[in-house]
Structure formats: structure tokens, C-alpha cells
A and B are shown apart, each in its own frame.
Chain A
Amino acid sequence: MNLPMPIAFLPGQPAPGACATDSAVSDPAPLSGEELAVQAQGGCEEAFAALVSAYAGRIYNFLFQMTRNAHDAEDLAQETFVRAFRSIERYDPRYGFSTWLFTIAKRLAASHFRSSRRAITEEFEESHAPLDFSTPSSELEARDQASSLWDLARTLKRNQYEVLWLRYGESFSVEQTAQVMGATQIYVKVLLHRARGSLGKLLRKNGFDGGKFEL
């Protein structure tokens, strides 16, 4: 679900101000995100709409995992695509479009946390009740209440959780994860190693040996 996937859209050469797909209907091969982005750079709004349809779910899910709040995730997803739309000329087709889009989303999520100073909101539905990690005692309580591995992962440091989600939740490669995080591959590898180590310790502490987190 994570690599640049073909998108059901008609192919064609990009032309400034017009969608090349209008005249090319004979070849039904779907276009990739990168090809659609090139068409969107030429002014094709339909190509950008196809990109939105293709990536809105992933971007929303990523932002939801970062914020654990449906409203914030919606707003940030909208802002992500608006920024992408306004700066689509700066996209370099040599790189993956999904990486570029996730980079925007990740920066927006980071600035969202800086501005709001909260990772988890109170208005979230009870069924998706987030874990409260605001104090050490609540963090311990949250770890006790964690019912899934990702609940436990959310108790890690923020950048460790982000790198885990990008690598395993979005199935980005180490190189793509480094691009999204704006870091080197070495840094991402080190961060992954530390995150996995911390998660392993938490698993053992939370009953890995026969407990509810038994692998």
C-alpha cells in the first residue's frame, strides 16, 4: 500500500494548461503518481484530483496515527494537499511523489504539535480513546492499558514512533523514510534500532513472556 502505485487514470503526455489524458484514451494503462504529478505541473486539475483520490486515504491515515484525532487529521490532510497543489511546480519527478507528499504532511504534523503542544486531544471518541502520556504516571498507566503493539509504540519518543510508523506502517524503505524525515539514512537506521530496542524492552516489561504481548 506504500510504494508508488499505478493509479487508474488515462495516460498521455503533459501539456501546459491542459490534460494530456483528454486525447489519449486508447491506452488504458494506469499512470503512476509521478506521471500524474507531472501532468498536474502542466496545469491539469484532473490529474491532481486523481492524485488526491489516490493518496487522500494514506495521508489521512498517516496524520491520524500522528495526531490520534480525526478532526486534526482531516484538517492537516486538507492542508497537505493544498500546499502540494500550490507548490506542485517544485516537485521533482525523479523522486517519488508519495515521498514528497508525506514530507509535506510530516512537516505539517510537526508544526501542528509545536503550535498546539498536545499529541492527544480530549474530544476523541471513546472507542478510539487515546493513551495519555502527559505525565510519567499516566504514561505508565497508558502502557498498562495498551492493547496493541502500536499503543505501546506510541509511548516511545516522538521521532522513534514516527520512524517506526513510516518504516512499518507505511512500508517506506529506509531511504524513503530518511527523505520524509529530512534525515540521513544512517540516522534513520540508528533511530529504528533504538526504537525497536525500546519497544522490545517494553514488550518484555509488559508481559512478553507469556503475557498479552506474546509474539
Chain B
Amino acid sequence: MITDKSRAMPCWIYRKQLQEAAANSAPLSAAARRHVQSCACCGEEFALQSALTRRLVREAKQQAEEAPAFLASRVMAAARASRHSAPEPAFPAWPRLASFAGMAALGALALFLTLPKPPPLAPSPVALQPAMADEEIGPALTQWAAKINNPLQTEMERVASDARNAMQLLAHNFLPARPASAGEEGSQN
């Protein structure tokens, strides 16, 4: 009959504590010790893990390899020889390079965000041109180059063209129809 509270608790409550105690050769709490004594499964696992830890430590000492007697003098000779050479960086260079690159990218981004943006360009009407013959390409190119070389004049021509088109549209829609029949009637008379 289970009378102790710790015995009634499921194993998973103690599992982490048992694992850490076995791995670090640490003492168990009273409750965990009672559980290990009452639970055969946890007791067996705890004994196995504890024995594994003890054996790892014990056999590590048996594995120890003696250093050669001349190692210390050899090391000091090499250290003295390296005194006048360039110092080695304690850390590899790439983290520093990466941090510099990251800072430069952040600076460029901040500069880009703080600079005033230029006003958006007005969309210019693009007329689809039919395919030109080879002999027409030369004059067309000359005309296009002239437009590029004189952008103000080109823009003024476009404004004037747009104004003419607007006036024609207004006249067509709102002005009364021209009395075209008057001339025709006069000629008939």
C-alpha cells in the first residue's frame, strides 16, 4: 500500500531531477529519494545513470595520456620565436567584417529613409508607333534626339498640344453647331 505522497506521484515529476542528479553526481531531495526507493523503474534508471557518470569519470583518468617531457620547453621556444611576429586575432575576422557590413547597410538604409524624395514624374502619354521602315528610322532618330536634347521645348509643345485638344473638346461639346446650312442656302439662291 502506498502511503507516502511521493510514492503516489507519477514518475515524470521526478524524471528531470533524477537525470540531473545522476548526470552531475548531485544529491537527491528527500522526496526524490523516497520515490527512487519505491519505484523500481526509476530506481533502476537512476542507478544506471549514476553508475554511468561514475564510470565516465573513473575511466577518463585511466585514459589520460602523459605529455612528452620536452613539450613545455618546446612550447616556450615557439612562444619566444613568435613574439616579434604579427599578433593573431583572438577571434576570426569574418564576424567583425560581417558586423561592419551590417552597420554600413543600416547606415545606408537610414540615409535613404531620411533623404527627401523627389516628386514623382508626371506620366507622359506614350503613343504606340507603328513599325517604321528602315529609311524612316534615321529621321525619326534625329527628331527623337532633338527632343531629348531640348526637353523644355518638348514639354512646352506637349502643353500646347494638350491645350489645343482640350479647347477642341470643349468646343465640340458645348458650342452650338455652326450654321453650315447658311452658305449652302445662299449659294442655292
Q: Are A60 and B65 in contact (CB under 8 A)?
A: yes
Is the C-beta of A5 less than 8 angstroms from some C-beta in chain B?
no
Whether B71 pairs with A77 at a CB distance below 8 angstroms is yes
Chain A binding surface SS class: helix
Are B82 and A200 closer than 8 Å at their CB atoms? Answer: no
In the complex, the chain A residue whose C-beta lies closest to that of B19 is A193
Q: Which of B57, B76, B87 meets A168, CB within 8 Å?
A: B57
A196 within 8 A of B: yes
Once the chains bind, are B65 and A64 in contact (CB under 8 Å)?
Answer: yes
Cβ–Cβ contact B71 & A60, under 8 A = yes
**Which residues of chain A have C-beta atoms less than 8 A from B67's C-beta?**
56-57, 60-61, 77
Confirm or deny: B90 has a beta carbon within 8 angstroms of a beta carbon on chain A. Answer: yes
Residues of chain B within 8 A of A48, CB atoms compared: 76, 79
What range describes how many residues of B lie at the interface? 35 or more
Is the beta-carbon distance between A149 and B56 smaller than 8 angstroms?
yes
Neighbouring A residues of B72 by C-beta, 8 Å: 49, 52-53, 56
A165-B60, A168-B56 known; A61 vs B65 contact (CB < 8 Å): yes
Report B-chain residues with C-beta under 8 Å of the C-beta of A196.
Answer: 23, 49, 52
Docked complex Cα distance between A52 and B78 (Å): 12
Residue B169 interfacial (CB < 8 Å): no
CB of B92 to closest CB in A, whole Å: 9
Main DSSP-derived SS at the B contact region: helix
Known: A81-B79, A196-B23, A200-B49. A215 touches B55 (CB 8 A): yes
Question: Hey, what's the 0/1 contact readout for A135-167 against B, CB within 8 Å counting as 1?
Answer: 000000000000011100100000000001100
Please name all residues of chain B whose beta carbon is closer than 8 Å to the beta carbon of A165 when the two chains form the complex: 60
Cβ of B51 < 8 Å from any Cβ of A? yes
> A residues within 8 A CB of B23?
192-193, 196
A74 at the interface (CB under 8 A from B): yes
Q: B5 on the interface (CB 8 Å rule)? A: no
> Do A52 and B76 form a contact, CB below 8 Å, given A85-B82, A87-B90, A192-B23?
yes
B184 proximal to A (CB < 8 A): no
A100: shortest Cβ distance to chain B, in Å? 10
A194 to B59, CA, bound (A): 20
Q: Which chain B residues lie closer than 8 Å to A65 at the CB level?
A: 63, 65
Judged by a CB distance under 8 angstroms, whether B66 is at the interface is: yes
Q: B52 near A199 (CB under 8 angstroms)? A: yes
CB distance from A43 to the nearest CB of B (A): 11
Is B53 part of the binding interface, using a Cβ–Cβ cutoff of 8 Å? yes
A83 near B88 (CB under 8 angstroms)?
Answer: yes
Q: Which residue on chain B has the smallest CB distance to residue A87? A: B90
**Cβ–Cβ < 8 Å partners of B48 in chain A:** 200, 215
Contact B55 A78 (CB under 8 A): no
Cβ of B129 within 8 Å of any chain A Cβ, yes or no, is no
* Cα distance, A82 to B82, chains bound together (Å): 7
Chain B residues with CB under 8 A of A64: 65
What's the Cα separation between A145 and B164 when bound, in Å? Answer: 99
Report the bound CA distance from A49 to B75 in whole Å: 9
* Interface residues of A, Cβ cutoff 8 Å to B: 45, 48-49, 52-53, 56-57, 60-61, 64-65, 70, 73-74, 77-78, 81-83, 85-87, 90, 148-150, 153, 164-165, 168-169, 171, 174, 192-193, 196, 199-200, 203, 215
A-B contact pairs, 12 of them (CB 8 A): A60-B65, A77-B67, A77-B75, A82-B82, A148-B59, A149-B55, A168-B60, A169-B56, A200-B48, A200-B49, A200-B52, A215-B52
Top 9 A-B pairs ranked by shortest CB distance? A215-B51, A60-B67, A169-B60, A85-B79, A168-B56, A81-B75, A64-B65, A57-B67, A90-B90
